[in-house]
Amino acid sequence: MLSPLALVNRLPRSGPWVRHLPLLVLAALILAVLPLTLDLFRLNLVGKYLTYAFVAVGLVLCWGYGGILSLGQGVFFGLGGYAMAMFLKLEASDPESTKIQSTPGIPDFMDWNQITALPALWEPFHSFAFTLFAVVAVPGVLAFVLGLAMFKRRVGGVYFAIMTQAFAAMLSILIIGQQGYTGGVNGITDLKTLHGWDIRTDSAKYVLYFLNAGLLLGAVVLGQAVLGSKFGKLLLALRDKEERVRFSGYDVAAFKVFIFTLAAVFAAVGGAMFTLQVGFMSPSFVGIVPSIEMVIATAVGGRLSLVGAVYGSLLVNFGKSYFSESFPQLWLFLMGGLFIAVVMLFPQGLAGISANLRSLRGRVAGPGIAPVPNVPAPPAEPKRAQGGAA
């Protein structure tokens, strides 16, 4: 029987298979292990958690590697979710289904607020193709404009974080205030079908879960491709030595705008999938608190690991559900203790644990060379007599 040390030495330490092992393990977990072991209710909860992971993956790119801490990613998550909710709500508000309203054919919350015609802003969302375009384009354009305005003026660091936080608060207040057009504090609810396909059935929930998981894995792969390119190396350089990159002739603002916009698009796709899986969208996912929770999940998973960010989202949101169910009076304190413990014990997040294990393995097994078998020591040379020959 091989010893543990011999087993460690037999494991491959390089090559594409080893490099992609964390992603393969994650894919196996969310595509096979969890669907086979969880009931539909719990699996649907995991699907909701995975929608938050889109935001965490984007934060790894713009915060972990780009040095751009955004405390307003809930804005883009919410915009993507609201765009999808508008299409679903219009489909659920056909004249036959709303014939008891004062004005049939418009969403119920508009009728309650004495609006007698569908606003022009809502009209394009009768088209599913336009909705898919809006899910990506609206948050992307907003992030592009915001990033351009900030980064061209070299606004960064804590000032940029405060600006994004303020923007999240403003949008949340705007959505709540415009109740007749957005559903107000209740949001857009009672979403039933997608092109006649009932998204509330068990089979639909399974399909949406796997679609969500596939899109998330695609986002991780795209993020790895970005980080593995020349752009990724420049991103790291401008995070650590921004002035040196600027003096080398690169447009630092353009790099920051691109990565911030890409992170916003990832968050928006997650928001759209959230609406499809959960069946509603409200301003509670747009404001400051959810945005900070998304940053915390990224830090717990490891802000330098795309795969770790997914695990961080799962852990943080599972902790919220478990503690709130089991300890309703104490769950906020327990969640705070979890965050503090992770930060204190694992400063690099969950991904840092894996890195430490790999480092330990390298110290135990050596730099890729098989250990030399035990060989008897050579006999000692005979001692020479002092002042004479042996």
CA distance 65 to 303: 8
pLDDT in tens, 70-126: 999 999 999 999 999 999 999 999 888 888 988 898 999 999 998 989 999 999 999
> Tokens for 94?
């056909």
Average pLDDT over residues 332-355: 72
- Residue 205 DSSP class: H
pLDDT in tens, 27-76: 999 999 999 999 999 999 999 999 999 999 999 999 999 999 999 999 99
Long-range contacts of 12-20 (CB under 8 A, 24+ apart): 13/362, 13/368, 14/368
Residue 387 in this model has a pLDDT that exceeds 80: no
What pLDDT is recorded for position 349?
73
Average pLDDT, the chain: 85
Confidence of residue 223 (pLDDT cuts 50, 70, 90): very high
What pLDDT is recorded for position 324?
80
Q: Return left, alpha or beta for 15; rule: phi > 0 is left, psi -120 to 50 is alpha, else beta.
A: left
Average pLDDT over residues 238-253: 87
Average pLDDT over residues 212-217: 96
Dihedral sign for Cα atoms in the order 187, 192, 193, 197: positive
What pLDDT is recorded for position 322?
83
- The residue among 44, 264, 289 whose CA lies nearest residue 135 is 264
Domain parsing of the chain, residue ranges? 19-357
What pLDDT is recorded for position 369?
44
Confidence of residue 386 (pLDDT cuts 50, 70, 90): very low
Q: Tell which wins on pLDDT, 332 or 78.
A: 78
Instruction: Give 281's strand partners.
Output: 188
